[in-house]
Amino acid sequence: MSKVLIIGCGGVAQVVVHKCCQHSDIFSEICLASRTKSKCDALKAKLAGKTKTKITTRQVDADNVQELIQLIQEEKPKLVMNIALPYQDLTIMEACLKCKVDYLDTANFEPEDTNDPIWRARYEKRCKEKGFTALFDYSYQWEYHEKFKNAGITAILGSGFDPGVTQVFCAYAQKHFFDQIDTIDILDCNGGDHGYPFATNFNPEINLREVSSAGSYFENGKWIEIPAMSIKREYNFAEVGQKDMYLLHHEEIESLAKNIKGVQRIRFFMTFGQSYLTHMQCLENVGMLSTTPVEFEGKEIVPIQFLKKLLPDPASLGPRTKGKTNIGCIFTGKKDGKEKSIYIYNVCDHQECYKEVGSQAVAYTTGVPAMIGAMLFLKGLWTLKGVHTLEEFDPDPFMEALNLCGLPWKIEENPTRVE
Ligand code: NDP
């Protein structure tokens, strides 16, 4: 019986709250706090009478450490779940450290202001040293490892699907199927159709920043960077069909390269339709994906934030999205001296998710693992002190919970490999 503080009330948080409320024996109380309190109140009203979990709501600016400390001290949660944006990771971690309260999030830190000279100097150094130019990396959060450990608290980083479940699949493959994993291909296929010419399935700013950046993969101890969308493959996904997919940089490659010993290559592919790519290219060409403020009629606006205002809210796509997602990892390697290859994956149906919690599958596949990570922490099963990504914990209770909580997985032996 524990109280959690959930920060953020967007598309993913709606699923997290719904799923926690299905497990009132563990999540006896939720304080839901976000920038716009009315969204928290609306969600609370939606769940009234449907759960034994007690929900209270608060307003908070999660960019402000002092405000967060005050909120945590007043609410006294057992765990803080950061379901806001990657921009808030460090402020929320800092507040958790000050209050000695445990922490969980779904995406690694990324700065909102990429023109901040202090951040930029460190970023440019990292680009040169590591060889990838993504705006995010784990170093900022890993710097908290010793501090969290000394404070006797846990940070669970990236408890969504990818990052998140994909790393649990890696730990599970390592524990049960391989003596040595040689290659990992993470495949993220969304075969869903929402009927709009262009919309993103989660926060547009974060999503478009990610997919318009250079791609990269990890091979033989080094990062190899390629122009955005320049490596394309076709893959025939179970229950979805043939799709085009493109190699992207993705945050879990960085932690897996560190934690899966001896791995030779890690790549990440995501499917995109031609319409999405054409729209994105056009928006990029005209400067609408820029994060640099421009002056417009006497007011400063950030183009990508203005674009977010125009695009459909991902949280509203639930009723319209039809089709399935198929996300998983293809592993090759050796077991008992023999070559082996498996695909561990989950298929999730957009309409089934909508029926259950009122959201599409991208929010669902992120929100359910966030709830499971929190549940395992609260049950005392995932309590390693310090800052950790999901492949560092025992995968077995998480894999079991996926099957019970709406994201069942399958294993295919000798799957078709990606060239
Ligand atoms: P949304 O934009 O829908 O929701 C973000 C929420 O955070 C909103 O309620 C927003 O408030 C709130 N918020 C933003 N800034 C602040 C602030 N300063 N203080 C308090 N609250 C704030 O995003 P999503 O729900 O789509 O995404 C949530 C997270 O999930 C993101 O970090 C995203 O990267 C991650 N994600 C992870 C995936 C994975 O597989 N690991 C996949 C998809 C997403 P307001 O309502 O006022 O805007």
Encode pLDDT of 74-88 as tens digits: 999 999 999 999 999
For residue 127, what pLDDT is reported? Answer: 96
Q: Give the confidence band of 218 by pLDDT, cuts at 50, 70, 90.
A: very high
Average pLDDT over residues 371-381: 98
To test ligand 1's pocket by mutation, which of 6, 35, 169, 252 has the most ligand atoms within 8 angstroms of CB? 35
pLDDT digits (tens, 9 = 90+) for 395-412: 999 999 999 999 999 999
Average pLDDT over residues 165-184: 98
Q: Give the confidence band of 201 by pLDDT, cuts at 50, 70, 90.
A: confident
**210, pLDDT greater than 90:** no
Query: Does 208 contact ligand 1 (Cβ within 6 A)?
Result: no
Query: Does 106 contact ligand 1 (Cβ within 6 A)?
Result: yes
For residue 114, what pLDDT is reported? Answer: 87
**31, pLDDT greater than 90:** yes
Q: Give the confidence band of 54 by pLDDT, cuts at 50, 70, 90.
A: very high
Which residue puts its alpha carbon closest to atom 23 of ligand 1?
Answer: 203
Ligand 1 centre to CA of 332 (Å) is 34
To test ligand 1's pocket by mutation, which of 9, 80, 186, 202 has the most ligand atoms within 8 angstroms of CB? 202
Please write down the HEC assignment for all residues of the chain.
CEEEEEECCCHHHHHHHHHHHCCCCCEEEEEEEECCHHHHHHHHHHHCCCCCCEEEEEECCCCCHHHHHHHHHHHCCCEEEECCCHHHHHHHHHHHHHHCCEEEECCCCCCCCCCCHHHHHHHHHHHHHHCCCCCCCCHHHHCCHHHHHHHCCEEEECCECCCEHHHHHHHHHHHHCCCEEEEEEEEEEECCECCCCCCCCCCHHHHHHHHCCCEEEEECCEEEEECCCCCEEEEEECCCEEEEEEECCCHHHHHHHHHCCCCCEEEEEEECCHHHHHHHHHHHHCCCCCCCCEEECCEEECHHHHHHHHCCCHHHCHHHCECEEEEEEEEEEEECCEEEEEEEEEEEEHHHHHHHHCCCHHHHHHHHHHHHHHHHHHCCCCCCCEEEEHHHCCHHHHHHHHHHCCCCEEEEECCCCCC
**Whether the predicted model's global pTM rises above the 0.85 cut:** yes
For residue 315, what pLDDT is reported? Answer: 85
pLDDT digits (tens, 9 = 90+) for 314-360: 889 999 999 999 999 999 999 999 999 999 999 999 999 999 999 99
Ligand 1 centre to CA of 384 (Å) is 26
For residue 25, what pLDDT is reported? Answer: 97
Which atom of ligand 1 lies at the shortest distance from residue 86's CA?
32
What's the rounded Cα separation, in Å, for the pair 41 and 92?
22
Which residue puts its alpha carbon closest to atom 31 of ligand 1?
Answer: 85
Ligand 1 centre to CA of 161 (Å) is 15
Query: Does 160 contact ligand 1 (Cβ within 6 A)?
Result: yes
- What letter represents residue 372's amino acid? I
Ligand 1 centre to CA of 263 (Å) is 32
Q: Look at 25-39, 142-156, 172-186, 289-303 and tell me which has the smallest mean pLDDT.
A: 289-303
For residue 173, what pLDDT is reported? Answer: 98
Query: Does 8 contact ligand 1 (Cβ within 6 A)?
Result: yes
Report the chain's mean pLDDT, rounded to a whole number. Answer: 96
Which residue puts its alpha carbon closest to atom 41 of ligand 1?
Answer: 160
Query: Does 34 contact ligand 1 (Cβ within 6 A)?
Result: yes
Ligand 1 centre to CA of 180 (Å) is 37
What's the rounded Cα separation, in Å, for the pair 357 and 350?
11
Q: Give the confidence band of 37 by pLDDT, cuts at 50, 70, 90.
A: very high
Which residue puts its alpha carbon closest to atom 14 of ligand 1?
Answer: 84
**6, pLDDT greater than 90:** yes
Q: Give the confidence band of 295 by pLDDT, cuts at 50, 70, 90.
A: very high
For residue 13, what pLDDT is reported? Answer: 98
Q: 314, 311, 110: which is closest to 202 by C-alpha?
A: 314
Query: Does 18 contact ligand 1 (Cβ within 6 A)?
Result: no
Which residue puts its alpha carbon closest to atom 10 of ligand 1?
Answer: 8
Q: Give the confidence band of 205 by pLDDT, cuts at 50, 70, 90.
A: confident
Query: Does 348 contact ligand 1 (Cβ within 6 A)?
Result: no
Q: Give the confidence band of 365 by pLDDT, cuts at 50, 70, 90.
A: very high
Better-predicted residue by pLDDT, 415 or 316: 415
**386, pLDDT greater than 90:** yes
Kind of pairing between the strands at 338-349 and 324-335: antiparallel
For residue 408, what pLDDT is reported? Answer: 98
Query: Does 57 contact ligand 1 (Cβ within 6 A)?
Result: no
Percent of the chain with pLDDT over 90: 94
